[in-house]
Structure 1
């Protein structure tokens, strides 16, 4: 569920909207921008992504909430990397980048509320961002003229930042893309995908 909510649904939404975005950008001359929201926690995941997805799909006993969240955020990073390459190869006037908005206390921790959770957030309170502060990097990447034609990058605190080693792996990005296409195929059969016939990894 975490992987589907945080990543796969966004992959499908992007796929469904991409042709319209590319056409609009071409007709108006105004570049399209896609911003994926990731997290620095993407660096917490290690191992074989596809294998782990299969494991947690088959058995609840293999599921770990923190690892699953890290995987979903890593998937956002890899999706950004792969999509940027594909858009570049078809000369689309659309860019894609991803951001780490920062640490904000939200209701995502509601199921773990209690003394320990409250204590952790109290001790980390100086590091937490307000909602406007957390939104700043997303707004910057989505709108700033300085980032015109910048694509496939990861940003934090309104600056380009490093991803994990796995997050910068082009082969892993391609594998995730291929697996994602299979997982969403029945939901996107009637939609034209301008990137579907293109595979730059085999050129």
Structure 2
């Protein structure tokens, strides 16, 4: 076994250990517990209809957090999740981190973030998440500002590439749907987190 493969296996091992410290709960199930959604077991007790507006949330499909007894080293390995400078830790970033750790533990290091990006973009299990990507966008003002910057950049490039700037059909065709921009931005954020976690895991392996 060469050193590169050895390091990859070691990173997978650290990621597998890190999985233990995640507490993951289904968002829908939590909403049922507090009476926002109809309960599955106790159908005789209807949900409080006054809480129904809260059923549409900007939360990810699962609520992810670290267990209370997680060691301090765990926080260090996940510092990229909550130490972003602009997009501080929120439920979506913890959800991305959980996905990244699961994938790294199974597939190995993700230094470029590509494997998580592809998962966000293409996996069938996330079809609903992609369809409601605007909820991810709405969960943070910083995200809205970032996506607006990205969208303006795409718009500028599309206009510059058009032979006739007044060709609105051509512009729409080049831009695609806004939802595509949201999904790409979501995948990019997830990819940055996966890349950052891989870097932290690699440093941990190197020191050990």
**Considering only CA atoms, is the larger Rg found in Structure 1 or Structure 2?**
2
Smaller-chain TM-score bracket:
under 0.3
Q: TM-score normalized by structure 1?
A: 0.25
Q: Which has the higher strand share?
A: 1
TM-score w.r.t. the length of structure 2 is 0.24
Greater helix fraction, Structure 1 or Structure 2: 2
